[in-house]
Structure 1
Amino acid sequence: MSEQETRVLTAVKKSPLATQQELANQLGMSRESVAGHIMRLTNKGFILGKGYIVPEDNNIVVIGGCNLDICGRAISALRLEDSNLGQISQSPGGVGRNIAENLSRLGQDVSLISAIGQDKSGDWLLEQCRSSGINMDAVIRHPDFGTSTYLALNDPHGQLVAAVSDMAIINTLDGTQLSHKKSLLLSAQTLLIEANLSEACIEWLAQLNCQGSLYADAVSVQKSVRLKPILHRLTGLKVNRDEAKALTGLADASDKELIQALLKAGVKNVLLSLGNEGVIFANHKEQASHGIFTIDAVSDTGAGDALFAGFIHAQLNTWPIAQSLEFASACSAMTLESDSANTPNISPKNIEKWIANK
């Protein structure tokens, strides 16, 4: 940023409703010069569109799915090809949206970029997300696709048995759509994506000259390979073993070999989720692990999203890695104790108390 651009940005922050002529008078510049600086600041992401809206410090932008989650939990051993007695619940979901809600409840300033339908499910999701503190102004309402729906079937212990995901609408998030959100993307101090996005979308993001940290969630074995074009840009990547094997092509590799391969591919920090075995963090300087907390799990939907959100929150607060992994693991465990993909109980104070009682 040039000296003149810095002066204009400072003036805009002090007087965001001022006209270009008023700013010019304050700065001793011509109106045309101020207009040119504002255009360049907007293109760089320091000003967000009309009204001279300046992004918050430490803002996070999440790009990913925003779903209606429907979860059925059997009350006894599942019988395939038959009707099973159980309980059915509805909640907001989607990997990107889940992470965004957790980050918001942890006190972070979060905006979500996603696509939802112009239907009642989309209306309900907007209301639910906004009530949890997520900025939904950048969400696109699509007239031709229904809102994404995720249907999960869990056993009596809350473990996922099968699921059906109808997420065709997320493929409408492409470079053309995201180019309209470029100022928001460039202004993000932290940008988080997930592998439900299309390959074309991820490739477009890989070319974007983002200045902030870039994190990614691999989501699933099938979708994880979509992240290959952007691995070298990633500040952090969350994967499980199978996803790491798919990304690296090392089917028989050890955890250490998988981590080293991802670091060699350019990922700066790897968060390897091991399920019931806990989690491993590694970069080129250090490696650490944390086991799981002993709990009575209700549902594992959203637990990995909470883990990643807790880890990012800890890293943004520059906590030591051992503390970061403990905090992230506690976020995951609290979500496992909930019957939905997000628990409203997640907050820094509640997690601190929860850990102290374990």
Structure 2
Amino acid sequence: MKHQTYRVYEAIKLDPLASQQALAERLGMSRESVAGHIMQLTRQGYILGKGYLLAEQNTYVVIGGANVDIHGHSTDTITSHDSNPGTISQSPGGVGRNIAENLARLGEHVHLIASIGLDQRGNWLIEQTRSTGVETHNILRHDTLPTGTYLAINNDSGQLQAAIADMRIIDTLDAQKLSQKQALLQSAYCIIVDANLSCDTITWLARQTFSAQLVGDAVSTAKAARLRPILPKLNLLKVNQDEARAILGSTETDPKKLAQALLHEGVDEVLLSLGSQGVLYFSAEHGQQTPCHPTLPISDTGAGDALLAGYLSACQQNKNLDDSLSFALACAAMTLESPHANHPELTVQNVTQWIEDL
């Protein structure tokens, strides 16, 4: 940052609501010159909006899916083509949203960019997300499409019998809308992209030049291949084996070879989930498999989202690789032991204590 621009930046930090004329008089500069420096600071991501909202350090920005999960659980053997007694519950969901919530619960400053309907379900979803500490003012509201909804029916053993996913709204999160968030994206410490986004949107993100670390989550086997255009830009990619094969167009069964192939495509670090076998970490310098912590799973929903958030949080805590992977797996294990997609007590202190109690 040039000296005069830095002077303007420091003056705004002291008085964010000062007018351009007041800043000019204080700095002995012309109002036009101050305006030029403010424009430059905005383009570079140091200023985020009106009132000279300044960018915070170590900010995460998550771009991806946010939806409402509705689960029906039959209390008896399901009878097809008939009404079945049971329970119905509603909870916040969506890979991007889940990652954002986990990061916020772990003490990170995180913004969520997602498309949500202008409806009551959307209002509820935003309020639930905001209450966990996630910054939600960059969420985009759509006035015609409903909030994304996942409707699942489980039998009396908890096994999925059928589901309907109405996620049409995610495709409205396009390049034009994201370009309006350039200041936030330019100021971010880390940008997390999930594969719920359309191919066109991910391709647009791949063409941008961000100073932030770029992290990808493959989401599912059906959507993972959407990340191909952005692979050379990714500092970190979280996948499972099926998702890795989908991205690579491969039938390879050796997880180490899958991870190495992703590195060959330009990814700096790979977190390859092995399910009950733990996680495989690969980079140009290291390759190691870390087993899962012992746990009594209740639901596997959201465990992968917690794994990624836990790893990012551990790196932010400057933990070494072994401790980072252990912390990430503990976040996943705690989530497995919870009936919710996000463990409501997921904090650095609680995760650390959980590991110590093993």
TM-score of the pair, normalised by structure 1: 0.95
Q: Indicate if the aligned counterparts of 1:157 and 1:298 stay in contact, CA closer than 8 A.
A: no
Query: Could you tell me how far 1:164 is from its partner in structure 2?
Result: 2.6
Q: What does residue 120 of structure 1 align with?
A: 120
Q: Indicate if the aligned counterparts of 2:62 and 2:111 stay in contact, CA closer than 8 A.
A: yes
* Aligned-partner residue type, residue 116 of structure 1: I
Deviations 1:148-205 (A, max 9, x none): 0012345666565654321100100001111111111111111101000011111111
Other structure's SS at 1:281 match: strand
Give the Cα separation in 2 of the matches to 1:158 and 1:213: 39
Give the Cα separation in 2 of the matches to 1:32 and 1:192: 37
* Aligned-partner residue type, residue 333 of structure 2: A
* Aligned-partner residue type, residue 202 of structure 2: I
* Aligned-partner residue type, residue 17 of structure 1: L
Q: Indicate if the aligned counterparts of 1:158 and 1:298 stay in contact, CA closer than 8 A.
A: no
* Aligned-partner residue type, residue 27 of structure 1: L
Moved more, 166-175 or 23-32: 23-32
* Aligned-partner residue type, residue 327 of structure 1: F
Q: How does 1:192-231 map to 2 (within 5 A)?
A: 192-231=192-231
Where structure 1 has 5 or more consecutive residues not aligned to the other structure, the ranges are none
Q: Indicate if the aligned counterparts of 2:252 and 2:258 stay in contact, CA closer than 8 A.
A: no
Q: Indicate if the aligned counterparts of 2:76 and 2:155 stay in contact, CA closer than 8 A.
A: yes
Q: What does residue 343 of structure 2 align with?
A: 343
- Equivalences, count: 358
Query: Could you tell me how far 1:77 is from its partner in structure 2?
Result: 7.0
Q: How does 1:1-358 map to 2 (within 5 A)?
A: 1-74=1-74, 86-154=86-154, 162-358=162-358
Q: Indicate if the aligned counterparts of 1:158 and 1:300 stay in contact, CA closer than 8 A.
A: no
Query: Could you tell me how far 1:225 is from its partner in structure 2?
Result: 0.5
Give the Cα separation in 2 of the matches to 1:123 and 1:147: 9
Other structure's SS at 1:48 match: strand
Moved more, 82-91 or 211-220: 82-91
Moved more, 267-276 or 288-297: 288-297
Give the Cα separation in 2 of the matches to 1:80 and 1:272: 38
Pair 1:82–1:310, CA change in 2 (3 A): farther
Moved more, 49-58 or 95-104: 49-58
Q: Indicate if the aligned counterparts of 2:70 and 2:152 stay in contact, CA closer than 8 A.
A: yes
Query: Could you tell me how far 1:104 is from its partner in structure 2?
Result: 0.3
* Aligned-partner residue type, residue 178 of structure 2: L
Pair 1:333–1:159, CA change in 2 (3 A): farther
Query: Could you tell me how far 1:88 is from its partner in structure 2?
Result: 2.6
Moved more, 61-70 or 2-11: 2-11
Q: Indicate if the aligned counterparts of 1:8 and 1:38 stay in contact, CA closer than 8 A.
A: yes
Give the Cα separation in 2 of the matches to 1:237 and 1:156: 36
* Aligned-partner residue type, residue 185 of structure 2: L
* Aligned-partner residue type, residue 324 of structure 1: S
Q: RMSD of the alignment, in Å?
A: 1.8
Deviations 1:2-60 (A, max 9, x none): 22222211211121111111111222211101101101110111100211100111011
Give the Cα separation in 1 of the matches to 2:198 and 2:225: 11
Give the Cα separation in 2 of the matches to 1:303 and 1:59: 23
Deviations 1:195-216 (A, max 9, x none): 0001111111111211011101
* Aligned-partner residue type, residue 172 of structure 1: T
Pair 1:351–1:84, CA change in 2 (3 A): farther
Moved more, 158-167 or 47-56: 158-167
Give the Cα separation in 2 of the matches to 1:158 and 1:285: 42
Give the Cα separation in 1 of the matches to 2:151 and 2:353: 33
Q: Indicate if the aligned counterparts of 2:148 and 2:166 stay in contact, CA closer than 8 A.
A: yes
Q: Indicate if the aligned counterparts of 1:159 and 1:300 stay in contact, CA closer than 8 A.
A: no
Pair 1:103–1:194, CA change in 2 (3 A): same
* Aligned-partner residue type, residue 93 of structure 1: G
Query: Could you tell me how far 1:289 is from its partner in structure 2?
Result: 2.1
Moved more, 159-168 or 89-98: 159-168
Where structure 2 has 5 or more consecutive residues not aligned to the other structure, the ranges are none
Other structure's SS at 1:62 match: strand
Other structure's SS at 2:135 match: coil
Give the Cα separation in 2 of the matches to 1:8 and 1:89: 52
